[in-house]
Amino acid sequence: MRGARRPQWRSAALLGAAARRTYWRTVGQPEGIVSEQDTDHHFVHRSTVPTMHFQASLPRLPIPKLEDTINRYLAAQKPLLDDEQYRHTAELAREFENGVGRDLHRDLLEHDRNSKHTSYISGPWYDMYLSARDPIALNYNPFIALNPDPKPEYNRQIVRATNLVVSSLKFLNSLKNDFLRPDIFYVNPKWGQNKIFRHFLRILPTSVSWYGAYMVNAYPLDMSQYRSLFNSTRIPNLNKDMLFTSEFARHLLVMRNGHFYVFEVLDAFGNILHPTEIQAHLSQIIFDADRLPAFELSYLTTEDRNTWATVRQLLVQKGNEENLKKIDSAVFCLCLDDASPQDEIELSHCMLHGYGFNRWFDKSFSLIITSDGTAGVNFEHSWGDGVAVLRFINEVYRDSTEHPAVVPESSPALFVTSCDKLEFTLGHTITSAISAARTKFEEKRKKLVFRAYKYNKFGKRFVVSQKMSPDAVFQLACQMSAYRQYGKFVPSYEACSTAAFKHGRTETIRPTSIYTKKCASAFIDERGKYSVEEMRNMIDECSKYHRRLQLEATLGQGFDRHLFALKYLIQVKGGSMPSFYNDPAYRNINHIIISTSTLGSPAVNYGGFGPVVPEGFGVGYNVFDDWMGSNTTSYLEEDLEEFLGYLECSLNDIFDVLEGRALTEY
For residue 653, the number of C-alpha atoms closer than 13 Å in the C-beta half-sphere is 29
The residue from 42, 281, 353, 381 that is catalytic is: 381
Helical pair 560-573 and 100-113, crossing angle rounded to 10 deg: 90
Residues 178 and 49: their CA atoms lie apart, in Å, by 8
Handedness of CA 594, 597, 602, 603 (dihedral sign): negative
Cβ atoms 422, 193 nearer than 8 A? no
Residues 63 and 558: their CA atoms lie apart, in Å, by 10
Report the 10 Å Cβ neighbour count for 348. 25
Beta-bridge mates of residue 594: 492, 617
Report which secondary-structure segment, H or E, holds 276.
helix 275-288
Residues 195 and 7: their CA atoms lie apart, in Å, by 28
* Catalytic residue flag (residue 281): no
Cβ atoms 478, 511 nearer than 8 A? yes
> How would you classify residue 267: left for phi > 0, otherwise alpha for psi between -120 and 50, otherwise beta?
beta
Report which secondary-structure segment, H or E, holds 143.
strand 143-146
Residue 147 dihedral angles phi and psi, to the nearest 5°: -70, 155
Q: Of the candidates 68, 88, 86, which has an alpha carbon nearest to the alpha carbon of residue 77?
A: 86
Q: Of the candidates 34, 30, 45, 27, which has an alpha carbon nearest to the alpha carbon of residue 275?
A: 30
Q: Of the candidates 386, 400, 129, 99, which has an alpha carbon nearest to the alpha carbon of residue 241?
A: 129
Strands (E), 274-357: 333-336
Which amino acids are annotated catalytic? 381
